[in-house]
Chains A and B, each alone.
Chain A
Amino acid sequence: MKRLLLLFQIICWSILSVNGQNNNEEIRIIAIGAHPDDADIRFGGTAALFAEMGHKVKFLAITSGDAGHQNTGGGALARIRRNEANKAGEILGVEYEVLSNHDAELTPELHIRHDIIRKIREWEADIVVTHRPVDYHPDHRNTAILVQDAAYLVIVPNVVPDTPPLDTNPLFIYVEDHFQKPNPFKKDIAVIIDDVIEKKIDAMSAHNTQMFEWLPWTRGISLEEIPRDSQGKKKFLENELKRRFPEKKAFDEEGVQAIRKWYPSSSINRINHVEFFEICEYGRQPTDAEITKLFPMLKTKK
């Protein structure tokens, strides 16, 4: 009986895996941010587009976010932020995992590099999204270094041998930032997210402690100035996005070129929200045709 069961299991498993192989349209993306909300702010729209098209997106926060508040902290804050992340994940249609490394204390250690290698492998990622190693928060920079250090090693069987290596190196991309040194962010890929901007803002709203308490506090905005009603909150966040990414209002030359490259028949004036990405040199180096395959929302053809 046991043997029969086992046989049945094997048959099921092989059918499943054959299906998995046949379904070669499915794209698997893992977005690795330093804190619960980083992936949402810089990749939320593109994530929602992937999810709507049936692809599999996972957000991974390397720290628990347990330092990101003026009145609360530690495990209590981490619990709240994990809940917020799960809500945001539901809104975007992505899986959201929050690791338990302390916020504001992240350093590029081997054990965290190994955790990241495991997560990328387990997700069988085609695309890995992360920060650049230049950014205002050391956790962002160190997250980038950790992911860069994983970029080649995910295919090496002797590294983290408890988790089978990937067959091919994924594409690694950076989310946008405005830092200029030692080199500015390069807009290699543009994704228009106007169709899902509501979802992105809703997902950001789910990070209540951050969007309406901690981040305004760090900028000296008194809590009285924050709208209470959900409409007002959304408006507030929309303005926040514009403040953070001023080129959303008027794209710079590089931005316009990137949009024209990936959406040749779109008219720039009608576009409001775009997420830009830079290709990291330390993973698979894709051709334009491969980028179009990996980002099926791009409309390079009429």
Chain B
Amino acid sequence: MKYIHISIFSTLLLLLNFNLNAQEGVENKLNIIVIGAHPDDADNKFGGTAALFAEMGHRVKFVSVTNGDAGHQNMGGGHLAKIRRKEAQEAAKKLGIEEYTVLDNHDGELLPTLNVRHQLIRQIRDWDADVVLSPRPADYHPDHRYTGILVQDAAYLVIVPNVTPDTPPLEKNPVFLYLEDHFQKPYPFQPDITVDITNTYEKKIAGLDAHESQMYEWLPWTGGKLDEVPKNKEDRIKFLRQNWGGNITPEERQNLIKWYGEEHGENVKYAESFEVCEYGKQPSDEEIKQLFPMLDQK
């Protein structure tokens, strides 16, 4: 009797689930994984796109390679890591993404060791990723640069069965993309894909707002702007909008026109851009449209 109940219940759940998917109109769910160095890195470079994917019913996961246990002027260690893990979970809810995993490597001490490379290979395989995003190996923080190197080092090996044999390899290499930065050497970031995030920009800001210890304490402290941080919720959101938004370069504008058509492209207010990494699957424009279905809105 009990079993019958359970099976009826799970059938209902399945139906409900199916129904939800049908509503979202997704036949083939895409699996996106974003690997940042710290809990909040994926959010500030990919938050808007993540929310778009999530709204369309696709599966997005953020991974932070370090636990962020050095990123504060007054707190630190395991205590800080616990706070930041909680903030990350809150941000995931705001963005509507499925998972936010914070690994336990120390902040400010990341090196491209085999151990961490294997952690990332497992993460990418377990998520059955179609698209993997990470920082470039050029960025101001050594943890960002080494995250870039670690993900690059995983890029081919995720399909090799003899590497990390405890976790089955992917059948095909995912597309690896870099998150945007402004560094010029050895060569500047090249925006290959630009996504209009105007509709999810507020969600992105809400996600950043969840990283309270970073957005309102640590980052302003490092910039000598702690006294400029507002106290009440509404002003804080405004403060975030001032710091995280709106600068679209001519190159990005061109890109938006390419992917969205002239009329739409000219009017985009907020965008996020990505560069195709040479070390994973090399997608055609057609494949990029399949992987970024929000682009195909001409």
State the main secondary structure of chain A at its contact with B. loop
Q: Which of A149, A159, A168, A281 contacts B185 (CB 8 A)?
A: A281
Q: Which of B73, B185, B224 contacts A183 (CB 8 A)?
A: B185
B183 and A153 contact, CB distance less than 8 A: no
> Is A152 among interface residues, defined by CB-CB distance under 8 A?
yes
| Residue of B whose beta carbon sits closest to that of A181 | B186
C-alpha spacing A156/B69, complex, angstroms? 11
A158 touching B70 in the complex, CB below 8 Å, given contacts A148-B142, A281-B140, A282-B140:
yes
A183 touching B186 in the complex, CB below 8 Å, given contacts A155-B222, A158-B108:
yes
Query: Digit string of A258-301 for contact with B (CB within 8 Å is 1, else 0)?
Result: 00000000000000000000000110000000000000000000
| Residue of A whose beta carbon sits closest to that of B222 | A155
Q: Which residues of B contact A109 (CB under 8 A)?
A: 111
Given contacts A151-B140, A158-B77, 9 further A-B contacts (CB under 8 A): A148-B142, A149-B142, A155-B222, A156-B71, A158-B72, A182-B186, A182-B187, A183-B185, A282-B140
C-alpha spacing A168/B222, complex, angstroms? 9
Q: Which residues of A contact B145 (CB under 8 A)?
A: 149
C-alpha spacing A110/B142, complex, angstroms? 11
A158 and B76 contact, CB distance less than 8 A: yes
Q: Which of B80, B108, B222 contacts A159 (CB 8 A)?
A: B108
| Residue of A whose beta carbon sits closest to that of B142 | A149
Q: Which residues of B contact A149 (CB under 8 A)?
A: 142, 145
| Residue of B whose beta carbon sits closest to that of A148 | B142
A281 touching B183 in the complex, CB below 8 Å, given contacts A155-B222, A158-B69, A158-B71:
yes
Q: Which of A153, A168, A182, A281 contacts B142 (CB 8 A)?
A: A153
A159 and B186 contact, CB distance less than 8 A: no
> Is B109 among interface residues, defined by CB-CB distance under 8 A?
yes
> Is B184 among interface residues, defined by CB-CB distance under 8 A?
yes
C-alpha spacing A157/B76, complex, angstroms? 9
- Chain B contact-residue range equals 20 to 34
Instruction: List residues of A (85-113) whose CB comes within 8 Å of B's CBs.
Output: 108-110
C-alpha spacing A109/B111, complex, angstroms? 8
C-alpha spacing A280/B185, complex, angstroms? 9
Q: Which residues of A contact B72 (CB under 8 A)?
A: 158
C-alpha spacing A156/B38, complex, angstroms? 15
Q: Which residues of B contact A182 (CB under 8 A)?
A: 186-187
> Is B172 among interface residues, defined by CB-CB distance under 8 A?
no
C-alpha spacing A281/B141, complex, angstroms? 11
A197 to chain B: closest CB distance in Å? 31
C-alpha spacing A109/B72, complex, angstroms? 24
Instruction: List residues of A (170-199) whose CB comes within 8 Å of B's CBs.
Output: 182-183
C-alpha spacing A149/B184, complex, angstroms? 17
A153 and B73 contact, CB distance less than 8 A: no
Q: Which residues of B contact A183 (CB under 8 A)?
A: 185-187
Q: Which residues of A contact B142 (CB under 8 A)?
A: 148-149, 152-153
C-alpha spacing A38/B70, complex, angstroms? 33
A152 touching B184 in the complex, CB below 8 Å, given contacts A158-B69, A158-B70, A159-B108:
no
C-alpha spacing A161/B70, complex, angstroms? 10
| Residue of B whose beta carbon sits closest to that of A149 | B142
C-alpha spacing A110/B187, complex, angstroms? 27
Q: Which residues of A contact B187 (CB under 8 A)?
A: 182-183
6 A–B contacts from the bound complex (CB under 8 Å): A109-B111, A149-B145, A153-B142, A156-B222, A158-B107, A183-B187
Q: Which residues of B contact A148 (CB under 8 A)?
A: 142
Instruction: List residues of B (89-119) whose CB comes within 8 Å of A's CBs.
Output: 107-109, 111
Query: Digit string of A127-169 for contact with B (CB within 8 Å is 1, else 0)?
Result: 0000000000000000000001101110111110100000010
C-alpha spacing A122/B181, complex, angstroms? 31
| Residue of A whose beta carbon sits closest to that of B76 | A158
| Residue of B whose beta carbon sits closest to that of A169 | B222
A156 and B183 contact, CB distance less than 8 A: no
A156 touching B140 in the complex, CB below 8 Å, given contacts A110-B109, A183-B185, A183-B186:
no
Q: Which residues of A contact B185 (CB under 8 A)?
A: 183, 281
B7 to chain A: closest CB distance in Å? 52
Instruction: List residues of B (109-143) whose CB comes within 8 Å of A's CBs.
Output: 109, 111, 138, 140-142
C-alpha spacing A155/B224, complex, angstroms? 11
Q: Which residues of A contact B70 (CB under 8 A)?
A: 156, 158-159
A152 touching B141 in the complex, CB below 8 Å, given contacts A183-B185, A183-B186:
yes
C-alpha spacing A157/B72, complex, angstroms? 8
B67 to chain A: closest CB distance in Å? 12
C-alpha spacing A157/B111, complex, angstroms? 20
A153 and B222 contact, CB distance less than 8 A: no
B183 and A110 contact, CB distance less than 8 A: no
B105 to chain A: closest CB distance in Å? 12
The 8 A-B residue pairs with the shortest CB-CB distance in the complex, in nearest-first order: A182-B186, A158-B70, A149-B142, A158-B76, A183-B186, A159-B108, A281-B183, A152-B141
Instruction: List residues of B (66-86) whose CB comes within 8 Å of A's CBs.
Output: 69-73, 76-77, 80
C-alpha spacing A155/B80, complex, angstroms? 18
A157 and B108 contact, CB distance less than 8 A: no
Q: Which residues of A contact B183 (CB under 8 A)?
A: 281
| Residue of A whose beta carbon sits closest to that of B72 | A158
